[in-house]
Amino acid sequence: MAASQSTLASIDAPMAGSQAESRLNHQMHCLPAGVLLLNEMGIVEQANPAACELLEQPLEGKAWRQIIDSAFAPRADDGHEVSLKNGKRISLKTRSLTPESGQLVMLTDLTETRRMQHNVSHLQRLSALGKMAASLAHQIRTPLSAALLYGANLASPKLDDAGRARFQQKLMARLGELEQRVNDLLLFARGGHTQKLEPLSVVNLIQDLGTSCEAVLQQRQADLSWAFQASPYIEANVTALQGALQNLINNALEANASAIRITVSELKGRAVIQVADNGNGMTQEQQQQAMTPFYTTKANGTGLGLAVLHSICRAHDGTISLASLPGQGSQFTLTFPCLEQQEEQRA
C-alpha cells in the first residue's frame, strides 16, 4: 500500500509541475503588457502576444540587442520613456531572474495614456489662461508703472547724483521683478516636458545654484549652505531644474529666511535633495495650496514659483514633498531617479 502511494506521488509531482507551468504560460499569454524572457545570452526564449504586437515582429529566438536596433527609435524628449519606430511610446523595465540566469523584460504601452494626459493638460492650461492673463496683467502693470515713473524722474535736470543713483536702483529692481515674472511664466508654460535631458551631477547643480543666487542672498543678508552625503547623477534639463530650484530659494527668502541649507543624499536608487529654511513656515491650509498655480499669499507674488517647481519635478520623473510649521520654517524634499537606475531600465 505504501509502495502504491509512493508511486502515485511520483506520478502526480510532474503532472502538478506541468499544470503550474501551463497555467503560468496561459497567464503570461493573457497579460495586456508585453513580457519577454531572455536567457543568459540575451536571446528571447519566450514572448507573449502583447510584446509581439507592440514591437510588430516575432520575437522568440532573436537577440534583444537586435530587437532594440530594429524597433526602438530614441528621441531627445523621451525622458524616462522610450519611443518606438512605429510611433508608440513605452515604459521598459527589466528584472534579473534568480536563481536562474537571464532577464525578464516588461513593456507597457503608454501611447494612449500620454495622449490623454496631453489632452487633459492642454484643457487645464486653456482653462487657466483667463486667470493667468488677469493675474499677470495686474502683476506686470504694478512694477511697469513704477519703472516708467522712475525712468521719467531720471530725465529730470533738477536731479542730483545721489537722487539719480537712488532712482536708477529702484528702476533696476522693478525691471528685475518683471524679468522674474516672465521667467516664472515661461518655466510653468514649458513644464520641462519638451526639453532635452542630459546627465547632470547633483553636486555641480547645487554649487552652480549657490553661485547664481549669491547676489540675492547678499542683498537679503541670508546664508546658503550645503552638505553632500552622496554624489549622485541624474538625467535632467539643467536650465529648467536650476530655474525651479532658484524659485525655491527665492520663496524661502520671501518668507524671511535668514538661513537655507541644502542636503544631497541617495536613497534606494534615487537622488534626494532637501532644502530647509528658517523662514515663516506655512499653515496646513497653505501647504495644501502651495503648489497650485496662481495661489499666493503675497501682495506681489505670481503664484507660480512652487507650481513651476512641481511641474518640472514631475517632468523629470521626480517627487516633491513639503513639511512646514508656522514660525519654524519649511523643508522641501525632492527625489529623482539616479542615472545608473535609468540606464538599467533601458538596458
pLDDT of amino acid 346: 44
- Residue 344, helix vs strand vs coil: helix
Domain coordinates in residue numbering, the chain: 2-114, 126-190, 195-347
Q: What is the DSSP string of 65-129?
A: HHHHHHHB---TT-TTSEEBTTS-EEEEEEEE-SSSSSEEEEEEE-HHHHHHHHHHHHHHHHHHH
C-alpha dihedral, 266 to 316 to 205 to 328, nearest 10°:
-70
pLDDT of amino acid 184: 62
Closest CA to 223 of 183, 300, 276: 276
Contact (CB, 8 A) for 280 and 295: no
Stated pTM of the model: 0.50
Q: Which three cell numbers stand for residue 300?
A: 506681489
Backbone angles phi, psi at 269, to 5 degrees: 80, 10
pLDDT of amino acid 172: 86
Q: Which three cell numbers stand for residue 283?
A: 499653515
Q: Which three cell numbers stand for residue 249?
A: 530659494
Contact (CB, 8 A) for 311 and 269: no
Spell out the long-range contacts of 221-226 with Cβ–Cβ below 8 A and sequence spacing 24 or more: 221/258, 222/252, 222/253, 222/257, 222/258, 222/259, 222/260, 223/258, 223/259, 223/260, 224/249, 224/260, 224/261, 224/262, 225/259, 225/260, 225/261, 225/262, 226/261, 226/262, 226/263, 226/264
**Cα(159)–Cα(246) distance, integer angstroms:** 36
Contact (CB, 8 A) for 171 and 147: yes
Question: Superfamily for 195-347?
Answer: Histidine kinase-like ATPase, C-terminal domain (3.30.565.10)
pLDDT of amino acid 297: 60
Instruction: Give, for all 347 residues of the chain, the pLDDT tens digit.
Output: 555 455 545 545 455 556 666 676 667 787 888 999 999 899 999 999 999 999 999 999 999 999 999 999 888 766 668 889 988 889 888 888 877 788 999 999 988 888 888 788 777 767 766 665 665 665 677 677 878 888 888 888 888 888 888 888 888 887 877 776 676 666 666 654 546 788 999 999 999 999 888 888 988 999 999 999 999 999 988 878 888 888 889 889 988 999 999 999 999 999 999 999 999 998 888 888 777 766 566 655 556 667 778 888 888 889 999 999 999 999 999 999 998 644 444 44
**Cα(144)–Cα(178) distance, integer angstroms:** 7
Identity at 218, one-letter amino acid code = Q
pLDDT of amino acid 8: 45
Closest CA to 187 of 311, 318, 319, 295: 311
Q: Residue 211: which residues within 8 A CB-CB, separation 6 or more?
A: none
Backbone angles phi, psi at 158, to 5 degrees: -85, -5
β partners of residue 321: 333
Q: Domain spanning 2-114 has what CATH number?
A: 3.30.450.20
pLDDT of amino acid 294: 64
pLDDT of amino acid 347: 44
Residue in this structure with the C-alpha cell 538599467, named with its chain if needed: 344
**∠318-241-75 over CA atoms, to 5°?**
75
Q: Which fold has domain 126-190?
A: Helix Hairpins (1.10.287)
